[in-house]
Chain A
C-alpha cells in the first residue's frame, strides 16, 4: 500500500514538472518538432525492400507531386534510389546512434562524476586529472584514427561505443562539481549527524540535485553524437553501406550533387539535422531554465 502511494506521488510530481515545462514556448516548439521527427522515423518501417536496390527507379529524378507515386515525392539519387525512403531510414538510424550513445556515455559520466565528487585525497586528484584530460581531448582526430582502423567491422551498434570513449568526460566533470557543491552544504552535515547512511545521503540528498542536470546532458549528448557521426561520415568513416543522415551527405558530396543541380539530394539530410539539433536543444534549454531559476532572469518570462 505504502509503495503504491509513494510511486503515485512520484508519478504525479513528474507529471506536474512536465506540465509546468509546458508553459515554455520553447519546450512546446521543441517537443512538437521532436514528435514529428519521431513519427517520421517510425514511418521508415514502411519502406519497401526495393528501396535499397540500385537503378530500380529512374536516376536523377527531380521531386514530383504525384499521388500514385508517393515514393518519388523527393526525387531519386544518381543510383536510382528514392530519396524519401533513404531519408526516413537515415533519420531512424541517426536517432538510434544518438540515443544509444547518450544512454551509454551519460550514465558512465554520471557514475564517474559521483565517484570523483565523493573521493578524497589522492583518489580525487587522479580522477580529476583523468576527467580534465579527457575533456580537453580533441575528439575528432582520435575518432578518425579509430574509425579508420575499424572501418571494415563498423556496425550501427559499434559506433555508439566508439563515440562513448570520448563523450563520458564532460558529464563527469559537471556531475563532480555539482556533487562537491551539494556535499559542502549544511543539510548534508545535519543528515549525516542524524544517522542517515552514506548511500542514503547519496541517493536522497545528492542525486536529486544531479538528476536535473543529467537529463539536460542526456539530450545534449544525443545532439553531440549525431553531429559526431555526421562528421565522421562526411570523411567517409561511417557505415557507408547503411543510410544515416551523415552518409547521405557523404554520398551527395561524393557524386557532386549540388554542382550538378541535384539540390533535392543534399538538402533533406541537412535540413533534418538542423531541425533535430534545434528542437532537442530547445527542450534541453527549457529544462535547465526550469531547474535553475536564476537563469530565468532577464529573459522576461
Chain B
C-alpha cells in the first residue's frame, strides 16, 4: 500500500475515534452527575431572578430533559444525543426563543474562524522563520536574549497576556477603545463601504490577534523551530552541502527550513485544540464578537442549547481541521511521501 494512503487511513481512523471519544465522554459524564443535572440547571435559572410559575417550570424541565436526551429508553437517549451531537441540532435557543441555536452559533462562527486562521498562520510563519534565523546567529548573547524572551512568553496563556494588553493599551495608554464590538452589517455597495468595513475589522481584530501571535510565535514555534534547526544543521547532508560550497542562504531556505516544516506541521495539527481553547477565552476578554463571547453569554444566562451547540461545533471543527492539516498539508510539505512508489 502507498504510505500516504496508509497515513490517510490511519489519521481518518484517529479523527473518527476522537469524535466518538468526545461524544461518549460528554454523554457519560453528563449522566454521571451525582444529582440530576437538569434540576441543578433549573435551580441556576431560578437564581437569575426570573419568577417561574409551576407550569412553566415543568414545561422547562421536560424541555431540558428532552434536550439532554434524558427521555425514553437508554438506547433511545443515546441515539438522540448522537444525532444531536453530529447534526448540531440542539433545538431552539432559550434566550432568542424561536431561533435555532445552530443558526446563532453559525452566525458567530466566521468571526472566530477568521481570527483563528489569520493569527495561527501568522504566528506559525513568523515563529518558524525567527527560530531558524536565530539558530544561525553566531553571537551567543543575541541568541541568548531571544531564547530567554521565548521561555518567559511561552508558558503564559493568551488570555492572561490579553489582560495585560488591556491594562496597558486601554488603561495606561488609551490607544484602543475596548467598547464591545458589534457585528457590522456586511453590505458592500461601494468602495467607501468596503474600506470602512476593512478598517473596522482591523480595529476590532488587532488586539486579540496580537495577544495570540506574540505568545505563540515568540513562544512555542520559536523554541521548537530553533531546536529543530540546531539539530538539522549537524545532519550529514547539510554538512555535505556546505562542503560542496552551496550558498549559505540557499542551504538555510532549501535544506533547513524545508525539513523543519514537516514536524512543525504535525505539531500545529496536534496543538490546534489548545490554540482554539485559548482563543475562545481571549475573544471573551476582548468582547470580540466570536464564539467565545457567545459562549460566555450562554453560560451566564443558562442558554444550554447554544452552549451545547458551540461545544459540538468546536469539537467537530477542530477534528476536521486537524485531519486536514495532518493529511493534505502534510502531503504537500513532505516530498518523501509523494515520490514513494
Contacts and interface: CB of A to CB of B under 8 A. Distances in A.
Interface of A: 26, 129-130, 132-142, 144-146, 148-153, 165, 223, 227, 230-231, 234-237, 249, 253, 258-259, 261, 263, 266-267, 270, 273-274, 277-278, 280-282, 285, 294-295, 297-300
A259 to B, nearest CB: 8
Contacts of A223: 155
B151 A285 contact: yes
Contacts of A153: 33-35, 40
Nearest to A274: B156
Contact of B155 (A135, A148, A278): A278
B209 interface: no
A236 B300 contact: yes
B47 to A, nearest CB: 10
Given A150-B33, A267-B167, 5 more contacts: A133-B14, A134-B21, A142-B26, A236-B296, A280-B155
Given A134-B21, A152-B43, A298-B135, A231 B166 contact: no
B44 A151 contact: yes
B298 to A, nearest CB: 9
B135 A236 contact: no
| Main SS class of interface, A | helix
30 contacts: A130-B17, A132-B18, A133-B15, A133-B20, A133-B21, A136-B319, A138-B273, A140-B280, A141-B310, A145-B30, A145-B308, A146-B29, A148-B299, A149-B40, A152-B40, A153-B33, A231-B281, A236-B296, A259-B170, A259-B171, A277-B155, A277-B157, A278-B152, A280-B155, A281-B155, A282-B151, A295-B227, A298-B230, A299-B147, A300-B143
A234 B285 contact: yes
Contact of B318 (A136, A165, A230, A263): A136
B284 A234 contact: yes
Contacts of A150: 33, 37
Interface string B267-302: 001101110111011001100000000011001100
B13 A144 contact: no
A141 B135 contact: no
B96 to A, nearest CB: 19
B259 interface: no
A236 B300 CA distance: 7
B124 interface: no
B304 A231 contact: no
A35 to B, nearest CB: 18
B144 A140 contact: no
Interface string B150-175: 01101111011001101100110000
A132 B11 CA distance: 10
A145 B311 contact: yes
Q: In the complex, which of the residues A139, A151, A253 has the most CB atoms of chain B within 10 Å of its own CB atom?
A: A151
B140 interface: yes
Given A278-B156, A295-B227, A142 B315 contact: yes
**A-B pairs with lowest CB-CB distance, top 9:** A140-B277, A138-B273, A133-B18, A281-B155, A277-B155, A300-B140, A152-B40, A149-B37, A133-B17
B84 to A, nearest CB: 13
Contacts of B29: 146, 149, 165
B231 interface: yes
Contacts of A230: 157, 159-160
B127 to A, nearest CB: 17
Q: In the complex, which of the residues A150, A165, A282, A285 has the most CB atoms of chain B within 10 Å of its own CB atom?
A: A150
Nearest to A297: B230
B307 interface: yes
Contacts of B82: none
Nearest to A147: B299
A74 to B, nearest CB: 16
A235 B296 contact: yes
A141 B277 contact: yes
A146 B307 CA distance: 11
A140 B275 CA distance: 10
B280 A132 contact: no
Contacts of B284: 234-235
A161 to B, nearest CB: 11
B166 A236 contact: no
B145 to A, nearest CB: 11
